[in-house]
Amino acid sequence: MKKIIAILLCLCLFLCSCGKNEAVEEKKEEDFAGMYFSYTELLGMALSGDFKESFTLAADNCKELNVTDMFIHVRAMSDSIYPSAYYPLTDWAKDQNFDALAFMIEACHKRNMRFHAWINPYRISSSLSDLEKISPESPAHSLSHCIGDTEKGLYFDPSYQEVKRLILDSIREIINRYDVDGIHFDDYFYPTDSPFFDLLSYNGYCSQTVKPLSLDNFRRANVNSLISGVKTVLLNADRPVLFSISPAANIENNENHLYADVDYWCRSGFIDAVMPQLYFGFDYPNDHNKFENLLNGWIEYLSGSDVILYPVLAPYKLDTDQNPDSIEWENGTDIIARQIKIIKENPFTNGFALFSYSYVFGEGENYTKQKENIKKEVKEEKK
């Protein structure tokens, strides 16, 4: 039987590919525990008055929880938290007299935690539909012909080569200038399945192509091209850099509405780790969306692949009252710990990640109970 693929991650995150093989890989011996920091959490740290102090405390908290990998939002809205030749500094980073990205990487590495640069490749704005309200330094202005306007905000149209070039150049900039251990995307690809989003670019493609792809396949091909390009950039780096993606929990939704063909990425060796957003409990009204059914579905979906599977869990749902499974989460301080236990005991999962920091270390009795339950399970020795 071939060697355990995840051991390669422990050896400087070197993964050759995630092509199909005859057997499902067993999990690695060393635990993987990831923690997400969203752009809103970084903003909160900046507004606290001392970003360095706030992040240092957060890094210490994560280390004490045995977190091994930090997923930090470095580019959320076609802006950046670091000085870039391609994107303007995000507003809070302008107020700092230091390079926040360099500081956070150093803080993580000092604590033997890996740093993954989390990027939203296509999103320009989640609320503004008026381009004139976007920073004048944003590439959205020079690429205004490559933008689609949706009810979710402004997004770059993935079909344009200029957009792909911008994203790849900016990722190359990150890995050349900063000692990041990974590049990470979440599930933000096409923001809509409406045919009007990319009507002009698709019609232009069809007029120049003898046998054009359907709109759905056209969109998948555009995203596939970017994912392939990112992998090529990372393979040309001077060190191993892990490429991970966190798709939505619903596999069909990824393929047919976000146009994220995760299976193709894995079979083609484009990505190293898949981190599905399993933000559901055990008692979800729809059986398909119950946590264990989703987990087993992803294990089956990735069967025969060398890809590493790190499910992402949802401590943010504690005390929620607006979801179909809100009753379970109302006082469900043990849900995440139980899910971690299942993942640790499953031979086909390699670890987990938590979304996100402020909910794991939130204030209030229930959040404290949830954190202690998580801590106990994370530190529990495998039997």
For residues 368 and 304, which has the higher predicted lDDT (pLDDT)? 368
Q: Mean pLDDT, to the nearest integer, of 63-82? A: 98
The proportion of the chain whose per-residue pLDDT surpasses 90, expressed as a percent, equals 85
Tokens of 215: 């709109």
Report the distance separating Cα 375 and Cα 292, nearest Å.
Answer: 21
We report the CATH number of the domain holding residue 40 as: 3.20.20.80
Report the distance separating Cα 78 and Cα 83, nearest Å.
Answer: 13
**Structure letter (DSSP) for residue 78:** S
User: Quick check: 97 pLDDT over 90?
Assistant: yes
Residue 2 zone, left/alpha/beta (φ > 0; ψ -120 to 50; rest): beta
The tens digit of pLDDT for each residue in 297-336 reads: 999 999 989 999 999 999 999 998 877 888 999 999 999 9
In the three-class reduction of DSSP (H, G, I as helix; E, B as strand; rest coil), residue 371 is classed as: helix
- Are the CB atoms for 159 and 201 separated by under 8 Å? yes
- Are the CB atoms for 340 and 374 separated by under 8 Å? yes
Per-residue confidence (pLDDT) for residue 25, from 0 to 100? 47
User: Quick check: 155 pLDDT over 60?
Assistant: yes
- Are the CB atoms for 125 and 154 separated by under 8 Å? yes
User: Quick check: 2 pLDDT over 50?
Assistant: no
Q: Mean pLDDT, to the nearest integer, of 279-287? A: 95
Q: Is residue 2 part of a domain?
A: no
- Are the CB atoms for 300 and 349 separated by under 8 Å? no
Per-residue confidence (pLDDT) for residue 137, from 0 to 100? 96
User: Quick check: 109 pLDDT over 50?
Assistant: yes
| Average pLDDT of every residue of the chain | 92
In the three-class reduction of DSSP (H, G, I as helix; E, B as strand; rest coil), residue 50 is classed as: coil
Per-residue confidence (pLDDT) for residue 326, from 0 to 100? 87
Alpha-carbon dihedral sign for residues 366, 371, 376, 381? positive
Q: Mean pLDDT, to the nearest integer, of 103-119? A: 99
Residue type (1 letter), 126: S
Cβ neighbors of 80 (< 8 A, separation 6 or more) are: 74, 86, 87, 88, 89, 90, 93, 170
> Which residues in 264-292 are b (16+ Cβ under 10 Å) and which e?
bbbbbbbbbbbbbbbbbbeebeeeebbbe
Question: By C-alpha distance, which of 173, 171, 54, 179 is closest to 110?
Answer: 179
Please report which confidence band the pLDDT of residue 130 belongs to, taking 50, 70 and 90 as the band edges: confident
Report the distance separating Cα 347 and Cα 345, nearest Å.
Answer: 6
Asked, as a colleague might, if the bond just before 54 is cis with ω within 30 of 0, I would say: no
Q: Give the residue carrying structure tokens 């303007």.
A: 88
Report the distance separating Cα 88 and Cα 79, nearest Å.
Answer: 5
Residue 140 CA neighbour count, 13 Å, CB half: 26
Please report which confidence band the pLDDT of residue 379 belongs to, taking 50, 70 and 90 as the band edges: confident
Residue type (1 letter), 264: Y
Per-residue confidence (pLDDT) for residue 382, from 0 to 100? 62
Per-residue confidence (pLDDT) for residue 128, from 0 to 100? 75
In the three-class reduction of DSSP (H, G, I as helix; E, B as strand; rest coil), residue 21 is classed as: coil
**Structure letter (DSSP) for residue 191:** S
Q: Mean pLDDT, to the nearest integer, of 354-379? A: 97
Report the distance separating Cα 77 and Cα 96, nearest Å.
Answer: 19
The tens digit of pLDDT for each residue in 233-278 reads: 999 999 999 999 999 999 999 999 999 999 999 999 999 999 999 9
Range of the structural domain that residue 146 is part of: 7-379
User: Quick check: 144 pLDDT over 70?
Assistant: yes
Please report which confidence band the pLDDT of residue 345 belongs to, taking 50, 70 and 90 as the band edges: very high
Per-residue confidence (pLDDT) for residue 286, from 0 to 100? 93
How many domains does one find in the chain? Answer: 1
Q: Is residue 358 part of a domain?
A: yes
Kindly report the number of other CB atoms within 10 A of residue 34's CB atom. Answer: 27
The tens digit of pLDDT for each residue in 5-59 reads: 343 344 444 333 343 333 344 544 468 999 999 999 999 999 999 999 999 999 9
Task: Give this prediction's pTM.
Answer: 0.92
Of 5-9, 48-52, 173-177, 290-294, which gets the smallest average pLDDT? Answer: 5-9
Q: E-assigned strands of 20-164?
A: 33-37, 69-75, 114-119, 123-125, 147-150, 153-156
Per-residue confidence (pLDDT) for residue 152, from 0 to 100? 87
Q: Mean pLDDT, to the nearest integer, of 199-205? A: 98
Tokens of 218: 């056209």
